[in-house]
Chain A
Amino acid sequence: MKPDRSFEAALDDLLTSERMSRRRLLGRAGGAGLSLSGLSVLLSACGGVKGTDAGKTAPAASVSVNHPKTAIGDWTFSNWPLYIDKKVLKSFDKRYGGHVKYIEDINDNFEFFGKVRQQLQAGQSIGRDIVVLTDYMAARWIRDGFVEPIDRRNVPNAKNIVDNLATINYDPKRQYTLPWESGAIGLGYNIKKTGRELRSVKDLFDPKFKGKVTMLAEPYDSANTVLLGDGVDASKATLDQILGAIDKIDKANAAGQFRRFTGNDYTTDLAKGNVWVSLAYSGDLVQLQSDNPDLRFAYPEEGAMLFTDNMMMPKHLAHPYAAETMMNYVYDPAIQAKIALYVNYIPPVKGVQELVRKQDPKLAANPLVFPSDAVRAQLHPYPALSAADERKMQEAMSQVTGA
């Protein structure tokens, strides 16, 4: 920010850039997130938080499911803010009839889970037909039996799924989940400040950048990235390895290396030059770069963590056929191309890049949206942790971030 710029211009800028950051505006993780929409959670959680054992069966290796064709009707789709081109919803309604009520009420995986947890555990419908949640939360829902299997006969387009996402550790046959969009966690930096290109996770710990680095508060993102930097396959990481990585982050933090632990609010610090290097989400950088060409994103050479947000049908939903029809619709490369043009995350559908090239050759050439096969092979999904291990990891990280 140039010092002579007017405050209004700067504020305007900030508000636009926040809006353009697509989602997770209020933070994706831990103590860094600001959740003002949490009031409803407060109220719902006050109503006695006793759990029940409903729906506690572990998912079988293979499930049979039959969702017969019916009219689409009025159904509900919950997603993160700014995560779809709304024209896609209109064209869906037009083509299949019925009406999709699209609500952007997912700002944080844990917060959203807190909001609907009681109903899920009591075996009730949560009034939504599709929800979009990140891998680790999707894994938790499957583990707890909160997800309705997908009738793949209604989703023939699912065959277009990209190879590296066709299977995932918590849902090997993709019986419950279909990826919505993915993103990589890597190095966001300002080349003017760092004076050199960054390539390695180790650059986050470079003493030259002391106090000018932000770290993600979510341990799934930060600890696993640190593990990749140490040559560990983070997708198969054990709790001990993760705790070791958190310890490493702790030591660097105690030495003053990190300015802040963040959700995706690092974007402001990075854009305004308050920090030089951020552990960052690829999709955010696509946006930030369009405002400031000095900002770069690098997939670390040791490999990068890949997060995927997944469409799933919550148990006891009312409109499984409508939900599956929508899943099928967005797996049509032509429709997925429209979404890709709008959201700038990595699409999970084959054949999209060619379609995007016709409309926006620059975007089609952007490795942050369409990574090369070599990069794709270096993208690691999150490790599958047990509920207890996950909690231990979160607790250890919250000791470090101070929340």
Chain B
Amino acid sequence: MLRLSLRRRRSLLPWVFLGPGLLWLVAFFAIPLINQINVSLQTGDADTGYTFNWAFSTYTTAISDYHEQFVRSIGYAATATVLDFVIAFPLAYFVAYKAGRYKNAMLLLIVLPFFMSFLLRTVAWQLILADNGWVVSRLRDVGVLGSGDRLLASRTAVIAGITYNFLPFMALPLYVSLEKIDRRLIEAATDLYANRVTAFLRVTLPLAVPGIFAGSLLTFIPACGDFINAALLGTPRQFMIGNVIQAKFLNILDYPTAAALSFILMTFILVGIFLYARLLGSRALREAAL
């Protein structure tokens, strides 16, 4: 056994604790990321192989060819995130404050869809939204849809699919931050002559900001890169950047463009998070991290 002074041991301790995590990050994040940058700067084709030659033009072509899908991804993901917030906030509020002894049962219901594969859940929506299905028939009966209109293979279906699939990612952080709020603060607000709306807007909502921040990131980021919903519920006209990357990588074998597109997406999301954090205030971010 190595004999080290107490001070030495103290200074080593953080590294021992951090070690497994650091190794994991280096092996499965840093090295692949460097590789990805390397691949994105190569040129060539699948038959002759790819060689590295600082091909920054891949990035400019990727942006000019696929800006449409980028904008679409951001638009769909943002819409779905807002919808998720609108649906999940009352839900989380109810579970945190009003569910009483059904609280655990309701939390279980929110998590329950995760017991089934993401892919299968999305395939199930193909059936629910089918042209001859119950939903479309009823919507036709009440005149929302014309006889030639459809739900499946449309923008509505894709956004609905994303909203559905990522709802728990919004609901759970919101629930946690609402649950944490000290009820006495709300009581104090009402004692100070705030009506219920004011108490909600001035006390509950600001205290829920960490949950809103975490929930919207957990929803928006994966939704941005999602390709399953667009592939199964949409048409090429609804394809998102994830579909392009997937096709470039697996079918067209154009690795440089796929790597460049992924890198652009990643950069965009990082910058976006940074701006968003500034917008909500760094205190909220710190609390969200806790």
Contacts and interface: CB of A to CB of B under 8 A. Distances in A.
A389 B131 CA distance: 39
Interface string B250-275: 11110100000000000000000000
A51 B35 contact: no
Interface in A389-403: 391, 394-395, 398, 401-403
Nearest to A3: B134
B189 interface: no
A11 B49 contact: no
B236 A403 contact: yes
A69 to B, nearest CB: 35
A355 interface: no
Interface in B33-49: 35-36, 38-39, 42, 44-49
Contacts of A50: 42, 49-52
A31 B127 contact: no
A403 B35 contact: no
B237 interface: yes
B243 interface: yes
Interface residues of B, number: 50
Interface stretch (B102-110, B118-126, B178-186): B118-126
Contacts of B119: 34, 36
Contact of A38 (B52, B134, B249): B249
Given A31-B236, A111-B250, A259-B235, A51 B243 contact: no
Contacts of A272: 126-127, 130-133
B147 to A, nearest CB: 12
Interface in A363-392: 387, 391
A45 B255 CA distance: 8
A117 B253 contact: yes
Interface string A262-288: 000100100011100000000000000
A34 B231 contact: yes
A314 to B, nearest CB: 16
B250 A51 contact: no
Contacts of B44: 51
Classify the interface of chain B: helix, strand, loop or mixed: helix
Interface in B137-155: 137, 148, 150, 152-153
Given A1-B133, A34-B231, A49-B39, A41 B249 contact: yes
A48 B38 contact: yes
Contacts of B131: 272-274
A110 B250 contact: yes
B247 interface: yes
A1 B39 contact: no
A190 B132 CA distance: 14
B228 A34 contact: yes
A403 B46 CA distance: 18
Contact of B133 (A3, A140, A268): A3
A395 B148 CA distance: 32
B62 interface: no
Interface string A111-153: 1011001000100000000000000000010011000000000
Given A51-B51, A110-B253, 20 more contacts: A10-B127, A11-B127, A33-B251, A34-B232, A35-B246, A38-B246, A45-B255, A49-B42, A50-B50, A111-B250, A113-B253, A114-B253, A261-B236, A272-B127, A272-B132, A273-B131, A274-B130, A391-B45, A401-B236, A403-B244
Closest 8 A/B residue pairs (Cβ): A51-B49, A402-B236, A31-B247, A403-B247, A49-B50, A111-B250, A401-B236, A46-B35
15 contacts: A10-B127, A30-B247, A31-B243, A34-B119, A45-B39, A45-B255, A51-B51, A110-B251, A110-B252, A114-B249, A117-B46, A259-B153, A272-B126, A274-B150, A274-B152
